[in-house]
Structure 1
Amino acid sequence: MEREIINRKISAFYFSATGTTKKITEKLALEISAGAGQNSWEIIDFTLPEARKKQYSFTEDDIVVVGVPVIAGRVPNVLLKFLNTVKGNKATAVAIVMYGNRNYDDALKELWDILDEDGFNVLCGCAFIGEHSFSDTLAMNRPDEEDMNTAADFAAKIIKIINEEPKINAVNEYKVIEKVYRDYYKPKDREGNPVDFRKITPKTGDSCTDCKICAEVCPMGSIDYDNVSTLNGICIKCCACIKKCPVHAKYFDDENFVKHKIELEEENEARKLPEFFLIM
Structure 2
Amino acid sequence: MKKRITAMFFSGTDTTQKIVRGIAKELTELAELIELTELTDLDEMISFNEMDFTLPEAREQAVTYTKGDLVILGVPVIAGRVPNVLLKYLNTVRGQGALGIPVVVYGNRNYDDALIELKDIMEDNGFVVISAGAFVGEHSFSKELAQGRPDDRDMAVVREFTRRIYEKMNTDQSFPDLKVKGMKPYRPYYVAKDKQGNPFDFRKITPKTSSSCTDCKLCAELCPMGSIDFEDVSRIIGPCIKCCACVKKCPAEAKYFDDAGYLNHKQELEEACTLRREPELFS
- Normalised by the shorter chain, which TM-score bucket? over 0.9
Task: Report the equivalent of 2:282.
Answer: 277
* Distance change (3 Å), C-alpha of 1:119 and 1:165: closer
Task: Report the equivalent of 1:13.
Answer: 8
- 1:159 lines up with 2:180 in the alignment: no
Task: Report the equivalent of 2:137.
Answer: 130
* Residues in 2 aligned to 1:75 and 1:215: alpha-carbon distance in whole angstroms: 24
Report if the CA contact (8 A) 2:116-2:182 is conserved: no
Task: Report the equivalent of 1:29.
Answer: 24
Letter in 2 for 1:220: M
* Distance change (3 Å), C-alpha of 1:269 and 1:206: same
Task: Report the equivalent of 1:191.
Answer: 196
- Cα drift, residue 109 of structure 1: 0.6
Q: What are the residue-to-residue correspondences of 1:206-245 with 2, within 5 Å?
A: 206-245=211-250
* Residues in 2 aligned to 1:165 and 1:183: alpha-carbon distance in whole angstroms: 35
Task: Report the equivalent of 1:264.
Answer: 269
* Residues in 2 aligned to 1:175 and 1:253: alpha-carbon distance in whole angstroms: 38
Q: Secondary structure of the residue that 1:163 maps to in structure 2?
A: helix
- Cα drift, residue 165 of structure 1: 5.6
Q: What are the residue-to-residue correspondences of 1:165-176 with 2, within 5 Å?
A: 174-175=179-180
Report if the CA contact (8 A) 2:112-2:182 is conserved: no
Deviations 1:87-138 (A, max 9, x none): 1101000110000000000000100000011100011110000000000010
Report if the CA contact (8 A) 2:72-2:101 is conserved: yes
* Distance change (3 Å), C-alpha of 1:105 and 1:175: closer
Letter in 2 for 1:136: K
Deviations 1:43-81 (A, max 9, x none): 100000000002200001200000000000000000000
Report if the CA contact (8 A) 1:94-1:125 is conserved: yes
Count of paired positions: 267
Q: Find 2:59's aligned residue among 41, 52, 56.
A: 52
Task: Report the equivalent of 2:207.
Answer: 202
- Cα drift, residue 277 of structure 1: 1.1
- Cα drift, residue 22 of structure 1: 0.2
Q: Find 2:77's aligned residue among 56, 60, 70.
A: 70
Report if the CA contact (8 A) 2:97-2:128 is conserved: yes
Deviations 1:195-221 (A, max 9, x none): 210010000001000010100000000
Task: Report the equivalent of 2:50.
Answer: 43
Report if the CA contact (8 A) 2:115-2:182 is conserved: no
Report if the CA contact (8 A) 2:20-2:72 is conserved: yes
Letter in 2 for 1:258: L
* Residues in 2 aligned to 1:154 and 1:177: alpha-carbon distance in whole angstroms: 20
- Cα drift, residue 176 of structure 1: 7.9
Report sequence identity in percent.
55
Q: Find 1:96's aligned residue among 93, 96, 103.
A: 103
Misfit runs of 4+, over 3 Å: 175-179
Report if the CA contact (8 A) 1:112-1:176 is conserved: no
| Structure 2: stretches of 5+ with no match in the other structure | 33-44
Q: Secondary structure of the residue that 2:64 maps to in structure 1?
A: coil
Q: Secondary structure of the residue that 1:41 maps to in structure 2?
A: strand
Report if the CA contact (8 A) 1:113-1:179 is conserved: no
* Residues in 1 aligned to 2:182 and 2:85: alpha-carbon distance in whole angstroms: 25
* Residues in 2 aligned to 1:140 and 1:222: alpha-carbon distance in whole angstroms: 27
TM-score (norm 1): 0.92
- Cα drift, residue 272 of structure 1: 0.6
Report if the CA contact (8 A) 1:113-1:176 is conserved: no
Q: Find 1:143's aligned residue among 133, 138, 150.
A: 150
Letter in 2 for 1:266: E
Letter in 2 for 1:237: K
Task: Report the equivalent of 2:256.
Answer: 251
- Cα drift, residue 164 of structure 1: 1.6
